[in-house]
Structure 1
């Protein structure tokens, strides 16, 4: 099931994250304290980060890549959970700095690298990972929607072009037997995602469905895995 959310509603929350003077410079999540830089999507604005960080199958002893790392909660959790090598990417340079700060805060900088990157562009061609994950911007908007702020790319994916690039580029960076994962919600357009996956020669499997009561409604978060057909 897909639930619709207007871009206007999302934009109001983003505007607050950009200029809200009442926002703290840290937050508590998963029993840990995290730094929050202004201009980075707050990981507590919804339960998505908490839910997905708790159910992602981190490859203990392996390598983990997160696209769109934001504050770095999931990447740092991967390192704390036993991944020996974690790479975190974000197109927002403020998020890169925020993730690096949280890696240092939790003592995992030695096994993490944080890169400013548009999708996979910042990686070396030889980079391979046991798990690739992206908590995608699931709010669907049309192709001509203007991403006018750094935070827009955290929640809007016009025409799901970003997700198409994510799927198309992932095979080049997956290790043998590696897993390609995607976090989304019932606000996402699942039919469109399935069609994009099919174009890339993949099928979508629902691994987990988690329902959370939030301020306005019950949200349903999905962890998906992409498989070659």
Structure 2
């Protein structure tokens, strides 16, 4: 797992100047130091799997380039909030919102997890394609891959409920390379239980990776 992440990080570090990439038939801006969706098979999968709330409100944690948040706006969400701890990622999300003419719908904020939100910010769907590898990040880029002690996941489950509308949905993108059992245990501490919505195995250098879209719902 660590080796696979290291290889992907090396490919990201080769991106040293702004460029564009193509994904899902659209062109996107990419800034150095931001997670590059076209380098991961999961990006298109999650984009197609997500149940974007038509005419509703959508929040993405860890927006990166913003392609998911922009797609949420393009696919009918009335309001979209994109959050990322990285200033570069927040700037990248704004670039793509402008590129695809949805800047009036997509609000971008920089901060750790839900920190930039107020108590009045509530959503019909909150989604995070998480940094599923447990390890110490060396910089902002590596935070897209590593979550030491799964502290970010713990914060996600702890604080998400305060920002969900009644009947709102909480979704997580994860893989079998991470410690899913531990993540489920963290969710259980907040009376949340997992429901697997979608999963598929993709070929990778290390064999296969199974990508999973998981919904967490109130236990009981």
TM-score, normalised by the number of residues in structure 2: 0.95
Root-mean-square deviation over aligned CA pairs? 1.5
Work out the number of aligned pairs and report it.
219
Of 71, 74, 80, 1:77 maps to 71
- Deviation (angstroms), 1:188: 1.3
- Deviation (angstroms), 1:11: 2.9
1:46 and 1:214 in contact (8 A); partners too: no
> Residue 54 of structure 2 aligns to a residue in which SS?
coil
Structure 1 residue aligned with 2:5 = 10
Distance in 2 (alpha carbons) for counterparts of 1:51 and 1:214: 15
Structure 1, unaligned runs of 5 or more? none
2:18 and 2:31 in contact (8 A); partners too: no
2:134 and 2:146 in contact (8 A); partners too: yes
TM-score, normalised by the number of residues in structure 1: 0.91
- Mean Cα deviation higher: 197-206 or 62-71: 197-206
If asked which structure has higher relative contact order (CA below 8 Å, sep 6+), I would say 1
Structure 2, unaligned runs of 5 or more? none
> Residue 204 of structure 1 aligns to a residue in which SS?
strand
Of 69, 88, 101, 1:107 maps to 101
Of 121, 124, 132, 1:127 maps to 121
Distance in 2 (alpha carbons) for counterparts of 1:24 and 1:101: 11
- 1:27 to 2:27 alignment: no
Structure 2 residue aligned with 1:165 = 155
- Deviation (angstroms), 1:111: 0.6
- Deviation (angstroms), 1:24: 6.8
